[in-house]
Structure 1
Amino acid sequence: MTSQPRIYMAGPDVFQRDYAQHKARIKEWCAELGLVALCPGDDEVTGEGKAEVSRAIFEVNMALIESADYVVANVCNFRGHEPDSGTVFEIGYAVGRGKKVWCYNTPEHDLLAQVPQVEPGFCRDGMLIEDFGLPRNLMLAHACELVRGDLRACLELAARWHAAQG
């Protein structure tokens, strides 16, 4: 582990209109806490078309995850009742590489309370809603540390955890 841990910032934040300002704030907070933020878009990519640009973004983000010590992920509801699929992929990849992951913007209520039901225990598509009392899918809940707080609270927790590791 490095003395200043490198934190990959996963999440749909990159789609915000004010992402440049948001990213600057993340980097500032991390610096205050002795962390180094690795944000999607840190290495701007160019290409000869959408396919080339999307491939380059994927490769840059994978390299950033590889170079990170930890991952902090925004698991807010994104375009529905679930986290962003790209974020979930990044979390799974990081966990598979043995990296500790913290997730913030975790809902207060369990899945059963979050997802609209057409009949008890089933969503509008007729699919069973898992009822384990967890605020996110069990695969995320058991692979990551789910933080009930915002980004700043999550970064503070990650910094304290790193410091405790010695």
Structure 2
Amino acid sequence: MKLYLAGPDVFRPDAMAWADAARQSCARFGHTALIPLDGVETTAPGIYHANIELIRSADAVLANLNPFRGCEPDSGTCVEVGFALALDKPVIGYLAEQENTIERVARIEGGPLENRAGRPVDRRGLHVEDFGLPLNLMLAVPAQIVIGGLAEALAQLPAKPRG
């Protein structure tokens, strides 16, 4: 299978080394990695269109949905997941922590959440979803969520026979 690898990993200081390791991991499972860093585009519109075409050509999307710059996943990754879902492609998201949204927000914001009228709220007083899901329902319901990393997500796909 051709797998689009979505996530904020492209922003890592060791992004190229991460991409090489991710390609090797996918190959061990009999799959081909499609990684946004492999493109030649350097403008924002060019990168966007190249990534959209990679998603179109993919058989599935594996998405790093760990918190990025706050309590929620990377916004670009969420767009990629939504686009893949709109194309009816399977999406497997992975998270390092086994926790629900309330637990994650409390952990990242540094303490238990306040309750107002029986509903949990964050530090700014905004309601936090309380469905017991690991992410916002718009990600957690349509995507298959696994705990771990890329290897655990890959393990959820059928392996291609070698040879």
Normalising by structure 1, we get a TM-score of 0.87
Aligned pairs (5 A) from 1:18-33: 18-33=14-29
Q: Give 5+ residue unaligned stretches, structure 1.
A: 47-52
Q: What SS does structure 1 have at the residue aligned with 2:126?
A: coil
- Confirm or deny that 1:13 pairs with 2:9: yes
Q: Which residue of 1 aligns with 2:44?
A: 54
- Confirm or deny that 1:123 pairs with 2:113: no
Q: Which residue of 2 aligns with 1:109?
A: 99
Q: C-alpha distance in 2, partners of 1:106/1:143?
A: 19
Q: What SS does structure 2 have at the residue aligned with 1:147?
A: strand
Q: Which residue of 2 aligns with 1:49?
A: none
Contact 1:106/1:136 (8 A) holds in 2: no
Q: C-alpha distance in 2, partners of 1:156/1:113?
A: 26
- Tell me the C-alpha RMSD between the 2 structures: 1.5
Q: Give 5+ residue unaligned stretches, structure 2.
A: 107-111
| Count, aligned residues | 152
The residue type paired with residue 114 of structure 2 is E
Kindly provide the CA deviation profile for residues 23-55 of structure 1, in whole angstroms up to 9, marking residues without a partner as x: 001111111111010001211224xxxxxx011
- Confirm or deny that 1:86 pairs with 2:87: no
After TM superposition, give the deviation of residue 68 of structure 1 in Å.
0.3
The residue type paired with residue 84 of structure 1 is D
After TM superposition, give the deviation of residue 158 of structure 1 in Å.
1.9
Q: Which residue of 2 aligns with 1:77?
A: 67
2:88 to 86, 98, 103: 98
The residue type paired with residue 139 of structure 1 is M
The residue type paired with residue 105 of structure 2 is V
1:67 to 54, 57, 60: 57
Q: What SS does structure 2 have at the residue aligned with 1:146?
A: strand
User: Which range is displaced more, 92-101 or 111-120?
Assistant: 111-120
Q: What SS does structure 2 have at the residue aligned with 1:124?
A: coil
Normalising by structure 2, we get a TM-score of 0.88
